[in-house]
């Protein structure tokens, strides 16, 4: 059954709902985006109009999850933008080794299907190969979190096919860190061993995660309002150990959202350090 059109009233109700549950802000003219992302789900659930969808959303938690899945942009790739990974290997891990850190906890906030968290783990293996014994063998632990249960399921499986198994990945790293399994590629156990995943909405509390030494929060703040960005960055600052680092996406910056970090310039980019 085709979904009936999205009236301005339905659209406004939907975008208020989306911002309240996920923080994602839709502009005034994203009717097309909403229609294109939700039409299939509505057909599948026999929901004939957006106003009926809005009624279902209120009482159906599973449907709310499916909508979250449909509305989030999960695009990611291996070693995306390379800079955040180069700086880990060449600056941050050596700095923790120099301080004789016993533990380095890294949080990949909004990890999508896991490529960021596993790429970090691969970098850790490459670092240990170059500087064995400079940190305790199990010192580095990586946690990936995301709001979307579907991407987390793939992240936990560590299994990738087609473009998802190759975008950003050199042949050498593919050979070294994956096993070919049927039609796809399975991340090897030693890389998976230091990575875990859990569901987390960045609008909710972080206390249960414990403290981190480095937070990667990339390509997600762009979807949020200025107030929510400020709130998230303030709470991330509290989640970092003293001297901890924050790495944002290439098009994101702290700008006026937080005064708790100082800029660290390295090569042609920047990251942030807890002041
Ligand atoms: C574009 S991906 C970024 C993935 C990865 N960090 C990268 O840079 O390649 C954005 C991710 O943010 C997640 N996301 C959106 N809103 C969120 C929220 N409120 N809490 C947690 N994750 C959220 C989406 O599910 C999606 O997987």
In sequence order, which ranges of the chain are alpha helices (DSSP H)? 8-22, 31-44, 50-59, 61-71, 83-87, 93-98, 115-130, 149-157, 171-177, 189-192, 226-239
pLDDT tens digits, 5-30 = 789 999 999 999 999 999 999 999 99
Q: What is the pLDDT, as a whole number, of residue 2?
A: 37
Is 121 touching ligand 1 by the criterion CB < 6 Å? no
- Reading the block at residue 51, the tokens are 């106003």
List of the chain residues with pLDDT < 50? 1-3
Q: What is the pLDDT, as a whole number, of residue 3?
A: 44
Structural contact between residues 157 and 125, judged by C-beta atoms closer than 8 angstroms: no
SS3 105: strand
Closest CA to 143 of 94, 38, 213, 85: 213
Q: Where are the domains of the chain?
A: 8-71, 83-274
Is 74 touching ligand 1 by the criterion CB < 6 Å? yes
Structural contact between residues 71 and 24, judged by C-beta atoms closer than 8 angstroms: yes
Is 201 touching ligand 1 by the criterion CB < 6 Å? yes
Q: CB within 8 A of 106, min separation 6: which ones? A: 120, 140, 141, 142, 143, 212, 213, 214, 215, 216
Closest CA to 11 of 66, 72, 71, 69: 71
Report CA(25)–ligand 1 centroid distance (Å). 13
Q: CA angle 140-221-12, nearest 5°? A: 140
Same fold, 8-71 and 83-274: no
CATH code for the structural domain at 8-71: 1.10.155
pTM value > 0.85: yes
State which CATH number among 3.40.50.300, 3.40.50.2300, 3.40.50.150, 3.40.50.1370 fits the domain covering 83-274.
3.40.50.150
Q: What is the pLDDT, as a whole number, of residue 4?
A: 58
Q: What is the pLDDT, as a whole number, of residue 257?
A: 85
- Reading the block at residue 159, the tokens are 């299994």
**Closest protein CA for atom 16 of ligand 1:** 22
- Reading the block at residue 12, the tokens are 């406004």
């Amino acid at each position: 059954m085709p979904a009936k059109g999205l009236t301005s009233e339905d659209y406004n109700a939907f975008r208020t709902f989306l911002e309240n549950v996920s923080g994602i802000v839709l502009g005034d003219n994203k009717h097309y985006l909403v229609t294109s992302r939700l039409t299939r789900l509505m057909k599948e659930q026999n929901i004939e109009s957006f106003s009926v969808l809005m009624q279902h959303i209120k009482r159906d938690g599973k449907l709310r999850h499916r909508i979250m899945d449909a509305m989030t942009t999960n695009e990611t790739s291996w070693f995306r933008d390379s800079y955040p990974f180069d700086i880990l290997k060449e600056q941050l891990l050596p700095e923790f080794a120099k301080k004789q850190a016993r533990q380095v906890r890294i949080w990949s906030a909004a990890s999508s299907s896991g490529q960021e968290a596993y790429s970090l783990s691969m970098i850790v293996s490459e670092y240990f190969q170059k500087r064995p014994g400079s940190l305790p063998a199990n010192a580095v632990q990586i946690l990936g979190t995301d709001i979307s249960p579907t991407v987390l399921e793939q992240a936990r499986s560590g299994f990738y096919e087609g473009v998802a198994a190759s975008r950003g990945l050199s042949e050498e790293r593919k050979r070294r860190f994956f096993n070919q399994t049927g039609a796809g590629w399975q991340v090897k156990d030693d890389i998976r061993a230091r990575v875990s995943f859990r569901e987390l909405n960045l609008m909710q509390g972080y206390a249960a995660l414990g403290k981190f030494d480095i937070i990667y929060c990339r390509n997600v703040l762009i979807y949020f309002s200025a107030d929510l960005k400020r709130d998230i960055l303030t709470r991330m600052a509290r989640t970092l150990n003293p001297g901890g680092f924050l790495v944002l996406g290439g098009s994101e910056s702290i700008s006026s959202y937080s005064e708790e970090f100082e800029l660290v310039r390295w090569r042609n980019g920047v990251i942030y350090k807890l002041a």
